[in-house]
Amino acid sequence: MRILLIEDDTALGAAIRDQIVADGHSVDWMTRLDRSSDALAVAGYDLILLDLMLPDGLGIPFLKALRARGDATPVMILTALDQVSDRITGLNAGADDYMVKPFDLAELSARIGSVARRYNGNPNPLITLGSLTIDLAARSVLLNGKPVILTAREWVMFEAFLQRPGQLFSKAQLEERLYSFDTDIESNTIEVHISRLRKKLGASVIETERGMGYRLARPSGTAA
């Protein structure tokens, strides 16, 4: 996933950014609402992590404006405001989850995964794909009952295909999911990840549409 982190606390922001990157996602970290609006204008995000007290304004009006213009990007509020009334205000403004600081980074990772599954129409974390058994919550894969070890970026790319079965992903779309604005990307990076996934999961698990992109292959015997 590509995640927009809006957090002005540098120590906490760095810790969250590092956790997201370790999970294999890409993250753009902003410390102001105006810069966050600029980022949203030029990039598509799968999730926004939103602090409520920023140097140039409050998170709730920002969230309300986001929803008012029809932007349905999932939003998780991360804040020190811990009253029940604060939670109700945030959820009523359009937030999908609300975490009170301080929080455990492992729990944040789990909640990010949960929100992503809900928005992709697959709250059930268990998927069977031919000889593959995938646990989205545990981020694990079995091939014919045997565990397959994927790197963080390999997992995020594979998860993108699982979330949109049959959808064709261009190279640029996959790069957006894996890398942030300030990352230098080798020209063949996506091809390398695809090749490694095929070696680990099976040569036919991901199809290539030459000159267009890649999609998750249908298991043999599945009706069109």
Query: Could you report the per-residue pLDDT of 146-172, keeping only the tens digit for each?
Result: 999 998 888 888 988 887 778 898 888
In terms of pLDDT, which residue wins out, 118 or 188? 188
| Residue in the structure block whose two tokens are 């996959």 | 174
Which pLDDT does position 180 carry in this prediction?
Answer: 66
Flag whether pLDDT at 222 surpasses 70. Answer: no
Average pLDDT over residues 126-141: 85
pLDDT of residue 220: 52
Residue 160: in which H helix or E strand, if any?
helix 152-163
Contacts of 56 (CB under 8 A, 6+ apart): 32, 33, 34
Pick left, alpha or beta for residue 101 (phi over 0 → left; psi -120 to 50 → alpha; otherwise beta).
beta
Calculate mean pLDDT across residues 90-118: 90
Find the helix packing angle between 84-92 and 59-68, rounded to 10°: 30
Q: Which of 112-121, 148-157, 200-209 has the lowest mean pLDDT?
A: 112-121
| Domain 2-119 = CATH 3.40.50.1110 | no
CA distances for 24 relative to 20, 158, 159, angstroms: 7, 11, 11
Q: How far is CA 119 from CA 1, 71, 74, 164, in A?
A: 12, 13, 7, 11
The per-residue pLDDT for 121 is 57
Cα-based angle 39, 43, 46 (whole degrees, multiple of 5): 105
Q: What share of the chain in percent tops pLDDT 90?
A: 50
> So what's the pLDDT on residue 224?
38
What fold is seen in the domain 126-216?
Arc Repressor Mutant, subunit A (1.10.10)
Query: In the prediction, which pLDDT does 55 show?
Result: 95
Give the burial string for 55-90 (b: 16+ CB within 10 Å, else e): eeeebbebbeebeeeeeebbbbbbbebeeeebbebb
In which band, very low, low, confident or very high, does the pLDDT at 221 lie, cut at 50, 70 and 90?
Answer: very low
- 17-60, pLDDT tens digit by residue? 999 988 888 899 999 999 999 999 888 888 999 999 999 999 99
The reply to whether 2-119 and 126-216 are identical in fold is: no
CB 76 within 8 A of CB 112: yes
Bond into 219 cis (ω within 30): no
Radius of gyration of the chain (CA): 18
**Is residue 97 over pLDDT 70?**
yes
Ordered by start, the domain boundaries in the chain are 2-119, 126-216
